[in-house]
Structure formats: C-alpha cells, structure tokens
Amino acid sequence: MELFLEIEKEALKSLSVEKYELGDYKIATVQTNCHVYYSSDKNYYSIPNAYLGKKVKLVLTQSTVKIYHNQTRIALHPRSRKAYHYVTVKEHVPVNHTYNADSSPKYFINWAEKTGASVKEYIEKILNQKQ
C-alpha cells in the first residue's frame, strides 16, 4: 500500500464525467451514394465521398453512430430509429452528385401507402429483402 501511495497515486486520472455507453460494431462498405447501411435500424449514414467503396467500421451506441476508417473517425451522426431514414451531412456528398431525396425508401413507402395498405406492405417487404 505504501508503494501505491508513493508512486502510483499521482499517475491516476479522474474518472470521465461522460456516461459510458456500450456499442454495437459493424463493418460496412461505403456505397456509391456516400452512405453506409445499418441493417438493424434500417438506416443510412453519410460518409465523406473520399471513402467510396472503402470498408469502414461503425460503432453504434444508444445515441450516436461513429464511423472509422483505419482507426480514424471520419463521421459522427446522431443515431436514428426511424426505418429507411437517411442521415446525411451535405459536406459528405460531392457537389456534382445529385442527391435526390425522392428516391429514398421512405418516398416509396409513402407513395405505396397512398395507393393502399397492401401495396405499402408489399413495398416494405421488397425493401426489407433488398437489405
């Protein structure tokens, strides 16, 4: 105990004030639309376009999605719980890339719902199979 008090006690740091959150980890490939897909939530998160086609690591907590490439964090997003939601930072998408929100899964689900409940159910089934 004497050695601890003399030597090690000075080296100790105080505990973090931030609450530790357990994370879920996933490896994903950045798609050509500058997003990665997280199948558990059925959501898409944007990545800087310099990483198109690259493998990245997603670390998901209850509140955030952190995305890493070669141990460097390249994106940080709030975690979305809405299915088929695109979480996009405009700076991640290149200027010459036309991001059309109307081509998202949510657009097709809303369209199908206007047509009828069975059409909506069918479109959701197709979208879920694709993922």
What's the pLDDT band for 102 if we cut at 50, 70, 90?
A: low
Q: What's residue 28's pLDDT?
A: 96
Query: pTM for the complete prediction?
Result: 0.66
Helix (H) or strand (E) holding 124: helix 117-130
Instruction: Give the separation between CA 80 and CA 110, rounded to whole angstroms.
Output: 18
Instruction: Give the separation between CA 29 and CA 1, rounded to whole angstroms.
Output: 51
Q: What's residue 11's pLDDT?
A: 81
Which segments within 1-131 are labelled E, that is strand? Answer: 24-29, 35-38, 43-46, 55-60, 64-69, 72-78, 86-87
What's the pLDDT band for 129 if we cut at 50, 70, 90?
A: confident
* % residues pLDDT > 90 (the chain): 45
Note the pLDDT tens digit of each residue in 8-66. 878 888 888 888 888 899 999 999 889 999 999 899 999 999 999 999 999 999 999 99
